[in-house]
Amino acid sequence: MPGFELFGSAERKEVNDVLDSGVLMRYGFDGMRNGHWKAKELEVELQSAFKANHVQLVSSGTAAVSVALAAAGIGAGDEVIMPSFTFVASFEAIMMMGATPVLVDIDDTLTLDPKAVENAISSKTKAIMIVHMCGSMGDIDALQAICDVHNLILIEDACQAIGATYKGQPLGSIGHLGCFSFDFVKTITCGEGGAVVTNNEQYYINSDHYSDHGHDHQGTDRGAEGHPFMGYNFRISELHAAVGLAQVRRLPDFLAIQKKNYTILREALALIPEVTFRTVPEGGEENYGFLNFFLPDLEIARKASQNLKAAGVDGCFHYFDNNWHYVRKWDHLKDVKSLFPISAEVKAGLKYLQTKTFAQSDHFIGRNISCLIKLSWTEEEVKARALKMVEAIKMSL
């Protein structure tokens, strides 16, 4: 990843189709399109790739999470359990719906710890959101069992994990709803875009309507369409969908390149006794977009991060000191800093963050380094990178 590294003639062809027709909007203008419906075509391709009944394209991964929550009826008075390690969009989307995010610890999968989830369930809990960070998954069976027992909705945020599978099923198509991002730095990119994936027909209908101002998309006259309920504008454009259409057809090739590059680096680091790797549940296969490994302690991980940068090894992240992806520095959430008033209920629901600690998450994130796997590397470049990484890590021990 990311897919933009290999842009070429396939992407240009799909984009030129749209420019030739002049129709950049995914809905309406049927007579002008010359048969081009890029968003619809991409949804069909994604249904096949995800082995899912329904896909609704939207404008971003954040929009996908927001639409998924709305489609499942999650809002004011509800709590959504989510991990302490994710992207800020997770809690942004929850709060946008008027619900309260309940952050819990991760385990050595770098995703939700089922025991922490179980302990966080209250009478207000409506959903569990597992975030498949850095291309892999948590204990999905355990989380599904918890949802079954407590009658909760399982939402998969698979924005960083397209192509990863669990027991042969693509991530994002296992829970009640799945969410994907196709932004500029994802394995396949639309520039900006996302998707809601579900096998539940009502959730799909809700997603379809809600993401386009509540339009029911019945008939061929957009102005005469009904509005069964209120919605917002989370539409993707035909230009963005065109890029994604070319990219998704190349996904198997992208995944193969990622796996090859990942394997070279992992095999080199595995020779260092102090290095261990994230746990991937039995039956799971990463999408190989990131190589995640643990060092013995926080101090060594910080040294290794500095040494990797000094050696010119870019794209290696120590999330413990990162502003975007780990709860430790989310002061704007802890202090509920917003341009608009937040409801008293949500404010009260977030007070726990003033005192709550995440020692278990600190234990894993503090020792973790996550390295981006690029598609454009040559084999020689990957091998040279592996040598630099080994040397930088050994210097840190």
CATH number of the domain enclosing 19: 3.40.640.10
Domains in the chain: how many in total? 2
Catalytic one of 124, 186, 356, 388: 186
Q: What is the DSSP letter of 368?
A: E
Q: Which of 191, 218, 250 is the last residue of a domain?
A: 250
pLDDT given for residue 85 in this prediction:
98
Q: Domain check: are 15 and 119 in the same one? A: yes
Q: Domain check: are 269 and 218 in the same one? A: no
Distance CA 223, CA 212 (A): 13
Q: Domain check: are 64 and 112 in the same one? A: yes
CATH number of the domain enclosing 321: 3.90.1150.10
Q: Domain check: are 119 and 216 in the same one? A: yes
Q: Domain check: are 319 and 237 in the same one? A: no
Name residue, tokens 């070279």: 264
Helix (H) or strand (E) holding 115: helix 114-120
Note the Cα 294 to chain centre separation in Å.
22
Q: Domain check: are 96 and 167 in the same one? A: yes
CA distances in angstroms from 22 to 25, 191, 239, 331, listed in the order given: 9, 19, 10, 45
Q: What is the mean pLDDT of each run of 10 residues along the chain (397 residues)?
A: 92 96 95 94 98 98 98 98 98 98 98 98 98 98 98 98 98 98 96 98 98 95 94 98 98 98 98 98 98 98 98 97 93 96 97 97 98 97 98 98
In angstroms, how far is the first alpha carbon of the chain from the final one? Answer: 29
Q: Which of 222, 250, 278 is the last residue of a domain?
A: 250
Provide the residue range defining the domain that includes 372.
252-396
pLDDT given for residue 193 in this prediction:
98
Q: Domain check: are 30 and 130 in the same one? A: yes
Q: Domain check: are 137 and 218 in the same one? A: yes
Q: Domain check: are 215 and 318 in the same one? A: no
Q: Which of 250, 285, 319 is the last residue of a domain?
A: 250
The token pair that represents 295 in the structure block: 């060092």
Q: Domain check: are 241 and 327 in the same one? A: no
Distance CA 266, CA 263 (A): 5
Torsion angle, CA of 387/390/395/397, rounded to 10 degrees? Answer: -170
Q: Domain check: are 32 and 168 in the same one? A: yes
Q: Domain check: are 299 and 174 in the same one? A: no
Tell me how crowded residue 134 is: count the other CB atoms within 10 A of its CB: 25
- Is 383 known to be catalytic? no
Q: What is the DSSP letter of 377?
A: -
Beta strands in the chain (DSSP E): 54-58, 79-83, 100-104, 125-131, 153-157, 165-166, 169-170, 177-181, 194-198, 276-277, 284-285, 290-294, 316-317, 368-372
Name the residue type at position 282.
Answer: E
